Structure 1
Amino acid sequence: MFEGHDPYLVALSVVIAILGGYTGFGLTARIRGTPDASHRLLLAGAAFFLAIGIWTMHFVGMLAAPLPAGTVYLVLPTVISFLICTLVVGISLFFVSIGEPSMLRVVSSAVLLGVGIAIMHYVGMHGLAGDFAMTHDRSMVVLSVVIAIATAYGGVRMFLARQGGVQLMLSAVAFGIAVPGMHYTAMAGMHMVPPSAGSHHHIEGLAASSQMLSLVVTLLCFVIAAGFLLSLVPDPRRKVPPAVDAVALVPGGATAGMDVPSTDTSAAPTSPRLRPTPLGGIGQPPRAAPVPRLPVEGVDGTHFIDAAEIRSVRADAHYTKVHDGIRERMCPWSISDAEARLDPGLFVRVHRSHIVAMAHVTLVRKEGDGAIVELDGPSPHRVPVSRARIAEVKARLGLVRRHAS
């Protein structure tokens, strides 16, 4: 498969695919828990870096191959291959980044990603031009597509298991195996037939030499490396400790933009862990013993998440979405059930559709008639606070204005 290939360029192509996969999957992991406007930007960025990783790996592999002298690359098929790759990757990522993906969506995403990689490869190969004719072994074409789909499925499954840390790197490595594995398998099934005596293949359309392609590939390698390094830069919001005094996080101090009628707080506790008041009020379900874990649904069954890892709970029809600081997952409980079972000393119902873990609040500010709070984690997210709950939230954060002596 690698006979005649430059081993250094082959190794570089694998590294490029891994870096592109890590950057793209890392951006996809941040889609959950961000505002809708940011969804589009993150999804576009993820698709862009994954597509660049696939496309650049492909052409680094072409530069590593022992192609006949005088081979050029037609610009139109080359550009089309990149556009196809970007579109297919974007749709595939959309399937697994919005909501809790079902098995059908995971499989569909993997099939689409694998087939998209194959289409990009063969469209790019169609862009090769020179004094030769190109043929492909059908069995190797089928094998290359199967390899791409299988490894893409493994990468997506590992990515969905937990979108961070070792799992994210393993997903990137699987992606880095999927793309070169498909490429070099397909290359093993490609045959270039020399032209017959006296014949000459006429090149139609704008073409680029290997030297020009090398410059473009080099530039894209820098883009991928820069994206990878930027993805490693920690988010400053993650460095805010959960127990930080929220007064320092509110512009203008505790009273800026969030005036609440003054009350006597001499007996009011200032720590969220020292106020075991009920989350709800009249008409709320009776308080049950706090549960240490919550059930969440995954593609392979029901998992359980420690209550200490929960940042927020959001109502979603008859169910809820639980955010663990990385992503949202479906919980079979209703918002009322979750409210009744979570520790009232740690969680507050800040809105009819939202419950928040107060120890993870890093920012609070007024917005419209209500307010918003931001919660920490690898993917910080914001939750609305209703006007009626502002006083409760401020009291739990120690922000209630005291009477002057």
Structure 2
Amino acid sequence: MQGTVDGFSYGAVTPVAAYLMASLGGALGLRCVTRSIRNKRSWKPGWLALGAASIGCGIWTMHFIAMIGFQVEETRIRYDGYLTFASLVVAVLVVGIGVFIVGYRGAGRSALLTAGVITGLGVAAMHYMGMAAMRMGGEIHYDSTVVAISVVIAVVAATAALWAAVSIRGFLASLGASLVMGVAVSGMHYTAMAAVSVHVHGGVGAPSVGGSPTSIMLPMLFGPVIFLILAGVVVMFDPLLVLGEGDWGGQQAKRSPVGNSAQQQPSSGSLFQPHTDAPPPAWSSPENPSRYRGW
């Protein structure tokens, strides 16, 4: 028999929470990628890896928070833990491929399209692996046309996010990009869920095949959420990540007597002179170049 599918059993709570997690992961990831590109003295592989992990965890967490609200009236749902965890690994690794491509090759058309397609397909693979991890007293069927639309949305969203990571500067612009990214990723998820129908084995009141989604998913969500919080702490303690390249110079000028010299730093966004790791002494002044002896 055909199952009665409800994707919003908790009302607006799960969609809103899922959107916020996707936006948070996107915001942290975009700032980390920007940090690696704008500041050439950064440890690029580390920042790109942190950005990829933030975006991947944000997307994965969004998916499974949204799935807490998914129910089939005639049967209970549980999840295969190994396959669910594997979908997280896929999300982080494939997003990482796209992030590293644009991080090292820039936003050229070929690099951006390649990275966007790979990342988008990875996001779609993560989604459908998560769906394959579901265990219930029935079978899931998909509308192939809607599935194809969801994959296209994933590719477009991934390409736009990667473009934003290497092209958009400043905190507010990056924040806006992350909010748009959250809309796109959530839109992909709910478009994919619109393709779902369930054929239930047996009659109404089929026996349970496992615990509730909430009791299973909440412990698994704990780790990625903690990671996103820790990544947010890293961002908060690095002004270049928060403010971006253009805003840093002005902010430094207000807080330090060497603000004018800070504005003369290289266009890479580095806080440091190219030939030294130490800042000029506080008594130095651009108006008196003779005071720069030894720098």
TM-score range, shorter chain: 0.7 to 0.9
Matched, 1:400 2:286: no
Which structure's CA Rg is the greater one? 1
Partner of 1:9: 14
> Residues 3 and 202 of structure 1: is their aligned pair in 2 closer, same or farther, counting only changes over 3 Å?
closer
**Unmatched segments (≥5 aa) in structure 2:** 241-247, 281-287
Residue identity opposite 2:122 in structure 1: G
User: TM-score, with normalisation over the residues of structure 2?
Assistant: 0.77
Q: Where is the strand percentage greater, Structure 1 or Structure 2?
A: 1
Return the match for 2:221 from 213, 217, 222: 217
Partner of 2:26: 21
Matched, 1:100 2:106: yes
Note if contact 2:23-2:181 (Cα within 8 Å) is conserved in structure 1: yes
Partner of 1:51: 56
Q: Where is the helix percentage greater, Structure 1 or Structure 2?
A: 2
For residue 135 of structure 1, give the secondary structure of its aligned residue in structure 2.
strand
Query: Which of 49-58 and 211-220 deviates more?
Result: 211-220
Note if contact 1:161-1:167 (Cα within 8 Å) is conserved in structure 2: no
> Residues 202 and 216 of structure 1: is their aligned pair in 2 closer, same or farther, counting only changes over 3 Å?
closer
5 Å-filtered alignment, 1:62-141, equals 62-68=67-73, 69-141=75-147
For residue 45 of structure 1, give the secondary structure of its aligned residue in structure 2.
helix
Residue identity opposite 1:72 in structure 2: R
CA distance in 2, matches of 1:157, 1:22: 14
For residue 276 of structure 2, give the secondary structure of its aligned residue in structure 1.
strand
**Unmatched segments (≥5 aa) in structure 1:** 247-270, 273-307, 313-322, 327-360, 365-370, 377-394
Note if contact 1:43-1:90 (Cα within 8 Å) is conserved in structure 2: yes
Partner of 1:31: 36
Note if contact 1:53-1:224 (Cα within 8 Å) is conserved in structure 2: yes
Note if contact 2:120-2:151 (Cα within 8 Å) is conserved in structure 1: yes
CA distance in 1, matches of 2:203, 2:33: 53
Partner of 1:325: 269
Partner of 1:390: none
Residue identity opposite 1:12 in structure 2: A
How much does 1:74 deviate?
0.3
Partner of 1:183: 189
Equivalent residue pairs, number: 271
Q: Alpha carbon RMSD of aligned pairs, Å?
A: 3.7
For residue 31 of structure 1, give the secondary structure of its aligned residue in structure 2.
helix
For residue 398 of structure 1, give the secondary structure of its aligned residue in structure 2.
helix
Return the match for 2:65 from 37, 60, 65: 60
CA distance in 2, matches of 1:113, 1:54: 12
Higher relative contact order (CA 8 A, sep 6+): 2
User: TM-score, with normalisation over the residues of structure 1?
Assistant: 0.58
Residue identity opposite 1:400 in structure 2: R
Query: Which of 115-124 and 235-244 deviates more?
Result: 235-244
For residue 106 of structure 1, give the secondary structure of its aligned residue in structure 2.
helix
How much does 1:96 deviate?
1.3
CA distance in 2, matches of 1:76, 1:180: 24
CA distance in 2, matches of 1:89, 1:233: 25
CA distance in 1, matches of 2:131, 2:23: 22
Partner of 2:285: none
Give identity over the alignment, percent: 21
How much does 1:228 deviate?
2.9
Return the match for 2:276 from 372, 381, 399: 372
